[in-house]
Structure 1
Amino acid sequence: MDLNLSDEQKLLRESAERFVAESYDAAHRRKMANDPLGFSPDVWKQFAELGWLALPLPEDFGGLGGGAVDVGILMEAFGRGLVSEPYVATVVLGAALIERCGTTEQKQASLPKVADGSLKLALAHSERAARFDLAKVATSATTTAQGWRLSGSKIAVLDGHAADEIIVSALMHDHRGPSGRIGLFVMPATVPGLVISDYARLGGGRACNIELCDVHLPADALLGDGDNALPAIEWAVDRAMAALGAEAVGIMQTLLDTTLEYTKIRKQFGRPLSANQVIRHRLADMAMQVDESRSMALRASLKADSTPIERARAASGAKAKIGRCARFVGEQSIQLHGGMGVTEELEVGAYFKRLVAFDTLFGGSAHHYARHAELGRTTAPA
């Protein structure tokens, strides 16, 4: 298998890294941390102009037809700058589910707007009692004469406060009771009965919890024909974990580069820290963890369109491995920077916070080690 990037992918990587280096400095990140929106609408427009919002969308609906590897290249560059724009929520999760489950009319109504930056999306699926189990949904959607009535609550909705439309998962009910099927519903963020409580995420960006108090939606709010949406949700979340893994690799690479540079200029007893053999061993261990994580993130992207079990094992394996590697690299970076590593004076702490958030998003390492093992038992020969 040829794992080398194509010429187009190399250009994508170079342009993304250059844009992030020029646009995301420490002052910009501090400004976004205090901004109630959590990101810059002007930068979001630039994403659209550069074609990044259209990158993985189908060409028939204004996209560029890119794949998960292309998204991973972009996300690794985003990690270097701690980008807080709602790219994962809108493009990797929201637009992907519309593409997967929506009718032709629904795709035509939404995907071109995502590509040009005029429509931001969010996925509301996680619930308190689910404990990262994607199949556990208590929010209900009951049929009415006009369409649907939704009731329930969702937590940890990435960038839901800034979304124009929120895709909500709910257990479908009819006049006989629960049908056992999960449906996805596209809901305007201004619909009556929707209560949004947003908060700052660890490491930058924002998320929210939402309450659905008898929210009434028209019949065409249901994505597709109402078939069980759980496989599509699992598919989208696995792709999101691959993208976030690539972002974590970009963060880890930045921490490694920053720490390496610091140990070259920081002197102790008249010698730079990097002259100490123990320090060199630690830096070598950090570099090894970064390379392993990059390989796992690439594997998850390459398997994004494989069979469900193969895709899920690759995604969970990457999430678990990168989570452990990220914590090691972050802790070593803070320790080698000394006391300054946990102060606002350096950005090492901010990068480490984003890695901690990554480790818990969509389930921690322990959860995904268990999921990977369970999927392995499913495919094991008798």
Structure 2
Amino acid sequence: MDFAFTEEQQMLQDSIRRYLESGYGLEHRARIIAGDEGWSPRTWAELAELGLLALDIDEDDGGIGAGPVGTMLVSQATGAGLLVEPFHSSAVLATRVVSLLAQGERRGQLLDALGSGEAIAVLAHEEGDGWDAPLETTAVSEGEGWHLRGRKACVYHAPMAHWLLVTARCDDGVGVFVVERGADGVDLRAVRTLDGQRAADIALDARLPPDARLGAGDATAALEQSLDRGIAALCADALGVLDRILTATVQYARDRAQFGTPIGRFQALQHRMADMYMQVEQARSMTYCATSACLQDDPASRREAVSAAKVIVGQAARRVGQEAIQLHGGMGMTDELDVSHCFKRLLAFELRMGTTDEHLRRYREAAQADAA
């Protein structure tokens, strides 16, 4: 398979890398995390100026239309930069849901607001009972509106969102509802994630207007496509972190001297770093494979490839992260080194959008269905 990128795609990735390297260092990031909001509106506005928030909006809707490959390349850069702003939650996942489901004048309004950075939206889907657990949140038609009841668990970047895209069971299947974050009957309990980002557990008992639902009919297919593309982009984010933590570890082994020689010359440590490199390259190949599957129209193949990537990247995240900390010693856990921040982000990745074990089970079921 040819994994070569076009000149335009490579320039897209290089531009965001340069931006993050020049203005998003560890000290700047630490100040953002320590703040009350946990994100930087200024950084968000600058990402909008670069066109990155319209990255996954089709050209017909006024966006860049970079597709899964462009999204993957930018996600690698945001991962390597340890970005805490809601790029993945809003510009990738929520924007794709809106693109697939919203219609008419409202479609343009929502996409324009998301692409310009004027508004942030997040998908509130998981309920804390497992990634693939049946939806318990319900939306019942009442009069001219909807009564939405249920709960959502650990919704990334919900505290800073303008809109929550809430999934719920309806009489005709699964629906996605646009809910104002501060609406009556919406209770958010903000939490800080392991890697310093912001999320929230959400309790819902809200009455919504009739146009709160995105699209008409069962939204299962659109939701599954959006989630799979979101997982592929999340794997790319983790790949960027893996590249950064591997580079930092190799450089440390070159610089750190013990017994009068750099520790990188010790054969035992060379073997461990070679194994780290192989883990990262396997993660890279599977991320590319998942991204390629998102370009196809076969949901079963896409589901299988995406879950396989989440498993392989998850295993690499744990193995490479632990090796990096061990090779750095106790100082690897301090906030002064980027290794500790990379390690926490990789741990959080393994739990986000389905654990490694959950996707291993999903892959097995998809493979068995494909064989049948």
Would the TM-score normalized by the shorter structure come out above 0.5?
Answer: yes
Q: Equivalent residue for 2:16?
A: 16
2:201 maps to which residue?
209
Give CA-to-partner distance per residue, 1:296-346, whole Å, 9 cap, x none: 111111111321111111110000000001111111110110111112232
Query: Which whole-Å CA distance do the structure 2 matches of 1:246 and 1:380 have between them?
Result: 28
- Residue 151 of structure 2 aligns with which residue? 153
What one-letter code is carried by the residue in structure 1 that aligns with 2:361?
A: A
Residues 56 and 95 in structure 2, CA contact (< 8 A), matched pair in contact too: no
**Structure 1: 5+ residue stretches without partners:** 173-178
Letter in 1 for 2:179: M
How does the TM-score come out when normalised to structure 2?
0.97
Residue aligning to 2:169: 171
Residue 39 (structure 2) aligns with: 39
* Range that drifts further, 255-264 or 56-65: 56-65
SS at match of 1:85: coil
Structure 2 partner of 1:257 = 247
Secondary structure at the residue paired with 2:99?
helix
Letter matched to residue 206 of structure 1: R
Q: What residue number does 1:305 align with?
A: 295
Asked whether the equivalents of residues 55 and 64 of structure 2 are also in contact (C-alpha less than 8 Å), the reply is yes
Aligned position for 2:308: 317
Return 5+ residue gaps in structure 2 as ranges. none
AA of the residue aligned to 2:7: D
Question: Which of 309, 318, 328 is the aligned partner of 1:327?
Answer: 318
C-alpha contact 2:164 2:179 (8 A) present in aligned 1: yes
| CA apart distance, 1:78 | 0.8
* Secondary structure, counterpart of 1:239 in structure 2: helix
CA contact (8 A) 1:199 1:207 kept: yes
| 1:138 is the counterpart of 2:136 | yes
Aligned residue for 1:60, secondary structure, equals helix
| Residue 204 of structure 1, CA deviation | 2.5
Report SS of the residue matched to 1:63. coil
Partner of 1:51: 51
Match of 2:68 in 1: 68
* 1:87-119 deviations in Å (ceiling 9; x for gaps): 111121111111111112221120011111101
Q: Structure 1 length normalisation: TM-score?
A: 0.95
SS at match of 2:173: strand
SS of structure 2 residue aligned to 1:119: coil
Counterpart-to-counterpart distance in 1, 2:261 and 2:280:
27
TM-superposed deviation, 1:272: 0.5
Q: CA deviation at 1:180?
A: 5.9
Partner-residue secondary structure (3-state), 1:247: helix
CA deviation map 1:240-296 (0-9, x unaligned)? 111111111111111111111111111111011011011111111111111111111
Q: Aligned partner of 1:43: which letter? A: T
Q: Which residue identity lines up with residue 93 of structure 1 in the other structure?
A: L
Q: 2:188 aligns with which of 184, 196, 199?
A: 196
Tell me how far apart the structure 1 counterparts of residues 46 and 335 of structure 2 sit (CA, whole Å).
29
Q: Which residue of 2 aligns with 1:105?
A: 105
CA distance in 2 between partners of 1:353 and 1:220 (Å): 40
Deviation per residue, 1:8-54 (Å, 9 max, x gap) = 01111211111111122111121122122221100100111001011
- Residues 51-102 of structure 1 show CA distances to partners (whole Å, capped at 9, x for unaligned) of 1011110112220111111011001111111101101111211111111111
Indicate if the aligned counterparts of 1:137 and 1:171 stay in contact, CA closer than 8 A.
yes
Post-superposition shift, 1:158? 1.2
Q: Which whole-Å deviations, capped at 9, do the CAs of 1:187-226 have from their partners, x for residues lacking one?
A: 111211111111111113111011112x11111111111x
Cα deviations across residues 145-201 of structure 1 (Å, max 9, x unaligned)?
1211111111111111111111111111xxxxxx26111111111211111111111
Q: Which ranges of 4 or more aligned residues in structure 1 deviate by more than 6 Å?
A: none
**Alignment deviations for residues 117-149 of structure 1 (CA, whole Å, 9 cap, x no partner):** 1010011111133x1115x11111111112111
Contact 2:3 2:288 in 1 (8 A): no
Count matched residues: 371
Q: CA RMSD in A?
A: 1.2
1:93 equivalent in structure 2 = 93
Identity %: 37
> Which residue identity is paired with 1:149?
H
Match of 1:278 in 2: 268
Q: 1 CA distance for matches of 2:57 and 2:17?
A: 22
Alpha-carbon distance in 1 for matches of 2:251, 2:2: 33
- Match of 1:132, as an amino acid? W
Give the whole-Å Cα distance in 2 for the aligned partners of 1:291 and 1:266.
Answer: 25
Letter in 1 for 2:114: V
**Which residue number corresponds to residue 236 of structure 1?**
226
CA distance in structure 2 between the partners assigned to 1:171 and 1:6 by the alignment: 42
SS in 2 for 1:337: helix
For the 8 Å contact 1:330–1:355, the answer to whether it is kept is yes
Q: Which amino acid letter does the alignment assign opposite residue 345 of structure 2?
A: R
Q: Is the 8 A contact 1:98 1:106 kept in 2?
A: no
Q: 2:176 aligns with which of 184, 188, 192?
A: 184
* Residue of structure 2 in register with 1:115 after alignment: 115
1:347 is matched with which residue: 338, 347, 352? Answer: 338
1:224 corresponds to: 215
Mean Cα deviation higher: 344-353 or 160-169: 344-353
